[in-house]
Structure 1
Amino acid sequence: MASQISSLAAILLSTAFFLMGNGLIGTLNPLRAHLEGFSDIAIGLLGACYFAGFVVGCFAGPALVTRAGHIRAFAVAGALNAVCLMMQAMWTEPVPWFALRALTGVSNAVLFMTIESWLNDRATNETRGRILSTYVIVNLSALVAGQWLLLIAAPQSFEPFSVAAILYCLCIVPIGLTRLPPPQPSPVPRLDLARIFRISPVGAAGCVTVGLSNAAFWTLAPVYAQSLGFDTSQLALFMSVFIAGGALTQWPLGRLSDGMDRRWVIAATCTLASAGGLMLGLSGLVLLNLAPILFYGVVFTLGAAMLPLYSLSIAHANDRLPRVQFVEASAGLLMINAAASIPGPLLGSFVMSAAGPASLFLYTALAYAAMAFYAFTRIRIKEPASAATRDSFTPVPQGSPASLPLDPRGPEQVE
């Protein structure tokens, strides 16, 4: 296994550079937009444009990769991201930024697709679970590292955009120099979203909730942090604590859900997320002034409850399906989540514009309370999944459909 991970070092190094850039620019964009005087709704629209571009990229990406090849497609997407960032730094107006963020979303979908296709192609039935876990660890670690790159220079300056652009350029180098043969084009899973809602309404609703609320958090939380008077180091800590909460609880919550009706864990985590959102929305500033450790404890708890819901929803949905349908169902749930991520930042920005920055977390609390209520309702009226169809929990990255065959819960691959 160690030798196989070593053979994938170039792919994982490219992943780390790419996601460090993503982590940096994901926080820098709303931060800089707010400093430039963009309205809350304009900042929400930036997030909506990015996720709309990502959805387009998920559909258009396979044709591009098939036509140009994995290395060329990856290089083009990485270069486009760098160009978009340089243009954002030079042209700080809302309308150009909307278009540039949409193009970045398309490019990121292609980057994820290329990386995950390569990992899937190199994995065997015995190693794909560990390769997926390694990928998730690199993913989360790079996102946290990206937050701390905010400290390099003032967000009003050109340098942070330059650093993110450099990282996107660097991500091209390891893959460009790799001797690994390019993977074969993966078949595009057939999507039947209506069937997914019928078979697992809780799993589908969980993915909608993640899209509506978590996308709003990534887009608008830096604006909330600025309203508290945070400098860039405090903002980096705020975002890192949130991500760490989700990273450290994915596996424990998943293992807990393996031994019971998974809907109870979904309902409990959603209730906890709603409570954390209420605390930040109603008394975040009070907690910060009273004792910063209490404030960051709530932020950690919020991340611990919000971030695992996507993986729990995937696991629950697939508890009700035969293994051969795993990739198709998971691809459908990924697209449901991505589609819900488009209106999420817009809805959050409307709430913030009407009721102030802290109301972002009241919006989050409402979304997760509704999900908790729905999960409890389904527990009462629908029996749990049969033990014969249940499989062990596996954390799932929110990337492209190309990562799904890596999941050990899917059908065995022909080698």
Structure 2
Amino acid sequence: MFKSVASFFSLFIATLLLQSGAGLFNTYVGLRFTATSVSELWVGAVIAAYYLGLVFGARIGHQLIIRVGHIRAFVASAAIVTITVLVQSLVDNLWVWLACRFVAGIGMVTQFMVIESWLNEQTENHLRGRVFAFYMVFSGLGTVAGQLSITLFPFLNYEPLVFVAMSTALCLVPVALTGRTHPAVQLPAPIMIKYYLARVPMSLLAFFITGNINGAFYALAAVYAVKAGLSSNQAAVYLAAAVAAGLLAQWPMGWLADRLNRASLIRANAFLLLLVTIPLWGWWQFPYWALLSFSAAYGILQFTMYPLGAAFANDNIEPERRVGLSAVLLMVYGVGACIGPMLVGALMRGISSGMFYVFVSACAVVMIVFIHPRKVTGKNRSGDAPTSFVPMPGSMQGSPAAVVLDPRIDVSRDVSRDPPPETGS
């Protein structure tokens, strides 16, 4: 097993570098814009543009891979992403930054599609879950490393952007030099939103709300931290504490999710999220150590909501339609991640920085109200339910290629492209 996983080391390193650049960039944007008194609305817009690029880039990247192959698509995308970052280091215009982040989103989702399709194609079925777990760990570690690397820069000038560009360029090396054979090109699953909305409405709601929360976190948590009195270095640690805690919580949450009712667990998670965020509305001032504790608790609850929603959805969809389900879940998550930063940015600008956690609390209330075990009739429950919980924190990327790495999915049986059966209301 170790030998099989180690054979993907070059792809894991590329993932680490990609996520390091993304983690640093988003922390840097929040801190720099706050230091230069740029509106929170612009901070949210820059991150929303990136997520919008991810949503649109999934189809664009797939067509590019078909035309030129995996390595050429990866190299071209990495070059484009690097150029967008360097342009941002030279041009101090917010509209140019929006355009650059949109293009970067398209490029990065293409890069992740290359890596994930490679992992899927050359992973044996009995090792799929372990490879997925290693991929997720490297992805999370990259995000944490990127957030903490802001502490290396005493000034929030162009230097962090150069470091981001170095990370996006350096990820070319392990992919370009890999000795692995090219994977086969996979057909994208169609988006049959009406069918899945009828089958798993609560799961889609959970993913949409989670997208809002995660998008707002990556955009504006650093802004909140600075306005709460933290230095730039402390704010970076504040963000990293949430991501690291969420990463470590995946396995304990999986143990619970495989033994308890999942709708109840999502509801309980949302209730605890509400309790954790209420004290952070701006009513009280907390010392640094207390804010770190809140951030870690928040990360545990926030970053386990994504895999909980995925497990809940897979319990109610036939195994042969789970590729299509995952495509819809990612689309819904991406749309939420576009909306969340814009909405929270406007609220923070118009009212106060505490509106960041007021928004999260409101999202938690929505899930508490609309996700209830009594609403789960069991009519659409799949034959292999409860499906296994798979650690998969919502990160800064949302490539549809990752879905076939999920050990709950058997691509050989997939009928997602066939017309769905009739469903009731």
Is TM > 0.5 for Structure 1 vs Structure 2?
A: yes
Residue 180 of structure 1 aligns to a residue whose secondary structure is coil
Counterpart mapping for 1:49-68 below 5 A: 49-68=49-68
Counterpart mapping for 1:294-309 below 5 A: 294-309=290-305
Does residue 375 in structure 1 map to residue 371 in structure 2?
A: yes
Q: Which residue of 2 aligns with 1:351?
A: 347
Deviation of 1:88 after TM superposition, in Å, equals 0.8
Task: Please tell me the residue identity of whatever aligns with 1:92.
Answer: D
Note if contact 2:196-2:325 (Cα within 8 Å) is conserved in structure 1: yes
- How many residues are paired up? 408
Q: Which has the higher helix share?
A: 1
Which stretch shifts more, 315-324 or 25-34? 25-34
Residue of structure 2 aligned with 1:329, choices 314, 325, 331: 325
Deviation of 1:232 after TM superposition, in Å, equals 2.5
Note if contact 1:277-1:365 (Cα within 8 Å) is conserved in structure 2: yes
Which stretch shifts more, 308-317 or 387-396? 387-396
Q: Deviations over 1:325-384 (max 9, x none)?
A: 1111111101110011111111101111121111111011101111122113xx223335
Q: Deviations over 1:192-222 (max 9, x none)?
A: 1122221111110110001112101110111
Note if contact 2:24-2:150 (Cα within 8 Å) is conserved in structure 1: yes
Note if contact 2:144-2:240 (Cα within 8 Å) is conserved in structure 1: yes
Residue of structure 1 aligned with 2:307, choices 292, 296, 311: 311
Q: Deviations over 1:167-196 (max 9, x none)?
A: 111100010011111111011112211222
Deviation of 1:321 after TM superposition, in Å, equals 1.3
Residue 293 of structure 1 aligns to a residue whose secondary structure is helix
Task: Please tell me the residue identity of whatever aligns with 2:360.
Answer: T
- Measure the CA separation in 2 of the matches of 1:294 and 1:43: 26
Q: Which residue of 2 aligns with 1:271?
A: 271
Which stretch shifts more, 188-197 or 177-186? 188-197
Residue 207 of structure 1 aligns to a residue whose secondary structure is helix
- Measure the CA separation in 2 of the matches of 1:295 and 1:341: 24
Deviation of 1:150 after TM superposition, in Å, equals 0.4
Counterpart mapping for 1:87-166 below 5 A: 87-166=87-166
- Measure the CA separation in 1 of the matches of 2:171 and 2:383: 43
Provide the TM-score with structure 2 as the length reference. Answer: 0.92
Deviation of 1:91 after TM superposition, in Å, equals 1.1
Deviation of 1:233 after TM superposition, in Å, equals 1.8
Unaligned runs of 5+ in 1: none
- Measure the CA separation in 1 of the matches of 2:223 and 2:235: 10
Deviation of 1:412 after TM superposition, in Å, equals 5.8
Residue of structure 2 aligned with 1:395, choices 365, 388, 391: 391
Q: Deviations over 1:143-175 (max 9, x none)?
A: 111112102213422211111110111100010
Distance 1:332 1:89, change over 3 A: same
Which stretch shifts more, 135-144 or 76-85? 76-85
Distance 1:35 1:286, change over 3 A: closer
Q: Which residue of 1 aligns with 2:231?
A: 231
Note if contact 2:46-2:98 (Cα within 8 Å) is conserved in structure 1: yes
- Measure the CA separation in 1 of the matches of 2:131 and 2:280: 36
Note if contact 1:61-1:110 (Cα within 8 Å) is conserved in structure 2: yes
Deviation of 1:413 after TM superposition, in Å, equals 4.5
Q: Which residue of 1 aligns with 2:422?
A: none
Note if contact 2:317-2:382 (Cα within 8 Å) is conserved in structure 1: no
Does residue 6 in structure 1 map to residue 1 in structure 2?
A: no
Q: Which residue of 1 aligns with 2:184?
A: 184
Deviation of 1:315 after TM superposition, in Å, equals 0.6
Deviation of 1:386 after TM superposition, in Å, equals 6.4
Q: Which residue of 2 aligns with 1:40?
A: 40
Deviation of 1:254 after TM superposition, in Å, equals 2.2
- Measure the CA separation in 2 of the matches of 1:86 and 1:231: 26
- Measure the CA separation in 2 of the matches of 1:34 and 1:99: 20
Residue 360 of structure 2 aligns to a residue whose secondary structure is helix
Task: Please tell me the residue identity of whatever aligns with 2:36.
Answer: E
Unaligned runs of 5+ in 2: 414-425
Provide the TM-score with structure 1 as the length reference. Answer: 0.95
Task: Please tell me the residue identity of whatever aligns with 2:285.
Answer: V
- Measure the CA separation in 2 of the matches of 1:406 and 1:85: 30
Note if contact 1:32-1:155 (Cα within 8 Å) is conserved in structure 2: no
Note if contact 1:144-1:240 (Cα within 8 Å) is conserved in structure 2: yes
Note if contact 2:311-2:389 (Cα within 8 Å) is conserved in structure 1: yes
Residue 249 of structure 2 aligns to a residue whose secondary structure is helix
Identity of aligned residues (%): 29
- Measure the CA separation in 1 of the matches of 2:376 and 2:179: 52
- Measure the CA separation in 2 of the matches of 1:33 and 1:390: 45
- Measure the CA separation in 2 of the matches of 1:89 and 1:246: 31
Distance 1:196 1:293, change over 3 A: same
Residue 13 of structure 1 aligns to a residue whose secondary structure is helix
Deviation of 1:270 after TM superposition, in Å, equals 0.8
- Measure the CA separation in 1 of the matches of 2:127 and 2:190: 26
